[in-house]
Amino acid sequence: MSDRRRFLKQTLQGSLALTASQLAAGWMPAQAGQIQPHPADQAPLPYGYAALEPVIDAQTMELHYSKHAAAYAKNLKDAMTAEKVAPGTSLEQLLAGISKYSEKMRNNGGGHYNHELFWKSMTPSGGQQPGDKLSTALNTAFGTYDNFKKKMTEAAMTRFGSGWAWLYLDTKNTLQIGSTPNQDNPLMDISPIKGTPLLGLDVWEHAYYLKYQNRRAEYVDNWFRVVNWGFVEQRLLAAGK
């Protein structure tokens, strides 16, 4: 075996080996030995399927993460390859120019982004309150925490059919509440509400139907008990507020 062939064989067997889909899409390691994750990869769920019981039951979490969200991730990866998205494009950049791509890219790109945010926005150590900086920002924008919760609940309850309710920072750096249909979100250039999502609430029936059936209001009310306010505050600070 030549040195070159031996090198290639060792490389492909070793830590530099890329997945077939990363190679197909042109993704390369950030540096030797370190593989840059593909933007369509699912991050591991930061807690177990049963961790958010009784607010979200284990079966719903498992189906939601390993079936619904996994399908968005896979379909997004396929669409990025088929539509030749430039290597190195971030998910945020892709969504900001989503009007240039297919319906498949829009639905699955939004679906993947929204769910990755959703998992991190919840925590088993529930019952937290927003920290000082987030609390001040919520009070400035909405008067009181209770009024914020009321408006977010209204956004979730008045979204007809499937979609998301959002707390987001608009393009003028003001906190806003709104909702989007299907898997759209405020990062998308086609969205009527635009800005940086800080907290998203999934109101697709697949997010609650097994436990709550048609009782969306009960799901929404309980969901506030598992929000990871520390994570939301980090996003607010990172977005420059």
Strands, E, within the chain: which ranges?
Answer: 163-170, 175-181, 195-202
Question: From the CB of 237, what's the least distance to Mn ion, in Å?
Answer: 27
Q: Which stretch binds Mn ion (CB under 5 A): 45-53, 134-142, 143-151, 207-215?
A: 207-215
**Cα separation of 88 and 38, whole Å?**
9
**Cα separation of 177 and 118, whole Å?**
16
Question: From the CB of 92, what's the least distance to Mn ion, in Å?
Answer: 19
Q: Is 152 helix (H, G, I), strand (E, B) or coil?
A: helix
Question: From the CB of 231, what's the least distance to Mn ion, in Å?
Answer: 18
What is the amino acid identity at position 45?
L
Q: Which stretch binds Mn ion (CB under 5 A): 89-97, 150-158, 165-173, 198-206?
A: 198-206
Per the CB < 8 A criterion, the answer to whether 190 and 99 are in contact is: yes
Question: From the CB of 195, what's the least distance to Mn ion, in Å?
Answer: 21
Q: Is 13 helix (H, G, I), strand (E, B) or coil?
A: helix
Q: Is 181 helix (H, G, I), strand (E, B) or coil?
A: strand
Instruction: Identify the residue among 204, 219, 223, 229 touching Mn ion (CB under 5 A).
Output: 204
Task: Using the minimum distance from each CB to Mn ion, give the nearer residue, 22 or 183.
Answer: 183
Q: Which stretch binds Mn ion (CB under 5 A): 20-28, 81-89, 194-202, 215-223?
A: 194-202
Place of tokens 């390369």: 28
* Cβ-based neighbours of 70, under 8 Å, separated by 6 or more: 42
Integer CA distances (angstroms), 164 to 18, 84, 104, 181, 204, in order: 34, 28, 18, 7, 8
Question: From the CB of 27, what's the least distance to Mn ion, in Å?
Answer: 26
C-beta nearest to Mn ion: residue: 202
Question: From the CB of 207, what's the least distance to Mn ion, in Å?
Answer: 5
Task: Using the minimum distance from each CB to Mn ion, give the nearer residue, 22 or 185.
Answer: 185
Q: Which stretch binds Mn ion (CB under 5 A): 55-63, 86-94, 124-132, 197-205?
A: 197-205
Per DSSP, what are the bridge partners of residue 196? 169
Instruction: Identify the residue among 121, 193, 198, 202 touching Mn ion (CB under 5 A).
Output: 202
Give kind and range of the element (H or E) at residue 232. helix 229-238
Site for Mn ion contains 233 (CB under 5 A)? no
Chain positions contacting Mn ion, by CB under 5 A:
202, 204, 207
